[in-house]
Chains A and B, each alone.
Chain A
């Protein structure tokens, strides 16, 4: 295996230009947080519970952003594995809301039609939104059934589902709001999350 230093030595140099500055400005506006303060102390990645599963830790995303690496940012799995627990945002010595940066990049990835590194996560989010649109609240049983079916993972977590059903933790019928028309109206104004097929072939 090549050493990281060699790997990076063979890559062409990054030229910072107007486009990279514009990207940083855009993400700064979307996230409402100041990115330039990041000096790569890596406290965020040290605290992130999902670091090991990520392409880049949160500190890597911040660096890519400063270097204007749009494509790398929008296609990395980091922005989809971030659950918004805010451990990074709470620990950052420069008070950068790193989780808000992840939110901004995820939305940018959707609006730019970037390849989604974790289609399963996106598919799950869409099932949740679908339930909210129908009932005004989430309905775990339906979300999980539709999600597992969409992923063709019919039997994964079958045992977990049965255990939860036995403990009556998965009500069969959804808890609904009394004015479902409220949700119809709102979701009709926000069709953005539905633009592409559920989960796959992105």
Chain B
């Protein structure tokens, strides 16, 4: 049963979700559908600029982000799934808001308007917004074990990577460092305290300097294992892939995307395509917890 649409948001998936992390994109769409969020993917969105444009050419980076902002319709928030895309798009938006002249340049370049008051949110913030609505009594949220399946108290290590590490310019945004932990708890999982929830995964150094990223992700994985977690849950598709690809410890836990965990909790059933794309297969664990058949 699909609940009625509560509200619409514009949606920027980003390159990872369109290609290597399609399972995150699919589960996100199903999780949103099941909770009354309508995602409207930006028409002809392009790369946010990634670390590479940002690293070499700030003007280019700003223009790449601005193209997407100019494609965003006014009047509803823009949800950005990937934390790295979020930093780029929200950072560019903050700069363009301060600099009307530059904003007009970009509007002319891309033939669209950039709303200086556009609200850019992460997926976690969006889910949290639903929760706040529920607290005010505007909507009813399903409870684990009652109206929804829930996550059967599976022990998870919530892994944020650098998503909570915002530069001073963006820190005023209503960002809560323990948001994913709170939401996983609401969804019926047992989020654990552990040592390295905010350790950066190494991002692009995984390509050029795997000798640096392997010890780093091993440290992260080992900390999760030591906490007694059965899996990691991450809000970033790049972190998910980096740890899966670079961790060479014998004992590796599966890593779920937050959207996969949320969709499972809400009782979404068409998940065959998602879990078989993981390099560390989460299906035995999920079966053991009777989360999948």
| In the bound complex, CA of A49 to CA of B46 (Å) | 30
- Given the known interface contacts A85-B162, A85-B200, A100-B167, the answer about A106 and B60 at a Cβ–Cβ threshold of 8 Å is no
Does A152 sit within 8 A of B, measured CB to CB? no
- Tell me which residues across on chain B come within 8 A of A143, comparing CB atoms: 207
Chain B proximity of A134: nearest CB distance (Å): 11
- Tell me which residues across on chain A come within 8 A of B164, comparing CB atoms: 90
| Contact present for B55 and A89 (CB under 8 Å) | no
Chain A proximity of B218: nearest CB distance (Å): 12
B interface size (C-beta, 8 A): 55
| Contact present for B165 and A87 (CB under 8 Å) | yes
Q: Which of A68-107 contact B (CB under 8 A)?
A: 81, 83-87, 89-90, 95, 97, 99-100, 103, 106-107
Q: Which of A156, A169, A187, A193 counts the most chain B CB atoms within 10 A?
A: A169
Tell me which of A50, A128, A186, A190 contacts B50 (CB under 8 A): A128
- Given the known interface contacts A106-B56, A124-B52, A138-B15, the answer about A164 and B245 at a Cβ–Cβ threshold of 8 Å is yes
Does A160 sit within 8 A of B, measured CB to CB? yes
| Contact present for B60 and A186 (CB under 8 Å) | yes
| Contact present for A84 and B46 (CB under 8 Å) | no
- Tell me which residues across on chain A come within 8 A of B67, comparing CB atoms: 182, 186
Chain A proximity of B56: nearest CB distance (Å): 4
Q: Which of B208-231 contact A (CB under 8 A)?
A: 208-210, 212, 216
Q: Which of A131-168 contact B (CB under 8 A)?
A: 132, 136-140, 143-144, 147, 156-157, 160, 163-164, 167-168
Tell me which of B45, B54, B64 contacts A103 (CB under 8 A): B54
Chain B proximity of A27: nearest CB distance (Å): 13
The number of A-B residue pairs with CB atoms under 8 Å apart is 169
Question: Which residue of chain A has the shortest Cβ distance to B216 in the bound complex?
Answer: A49
- Tell me which residues across on chain B come within 8 A of A168, comparing CB atoms: 277
| Contact present for B56 and A120 (CB under 8 Å) | no
- Given the known interface contacts A132-B64, A169-B277, the answer about A121 and B165 at a Cβ–Cβ threshold of 8 Å is no
Binary CB contact string for chain B from 41 to 58 against chain A (1 if under 8 A, 0 otherwise): 000111101111111111
**Prevailing SS type, chain B contact patch:** helix
- Tell me which residues across on chain B come within 8 A of A198, comparing CB atoms: none
Chain B proximity of A38: nearest CB distance (Å): 14
Does A179 sit within 8 A of B, measured CB to CB? yes
| Contact present for A192 and B205 (CB under 8 Å) | no
| Contact present for B46 and A123 (CB under 8 Å) | no
Interface residues, chain A, CB within 8 Å of chain B? 32-33, 49-50, 53, 81, 83-87, 89-90, 95, 97, 99-100, 103, 106-107, 110, 118, 120-126, 128-129, 132, 136-140, 143-144, 147, 156-157, 160, 163-164, 167-171, 175, 177-179, 182-183, 186-187, 190, 192-193
Top 4 nearest A-B pairs (CB, nearest first) are A85-B200, A85-B162, A128-B52, A125-B52
Interface residues, chain B, CB within 8 Å of chain A? 15, 18-21, 44-47, 49-60, 63-64, 67, 87, 109-110, 161-162, 164-169, 171, 198-200, 202-205, 207-210, 212, 216, 241, 245, 276-279
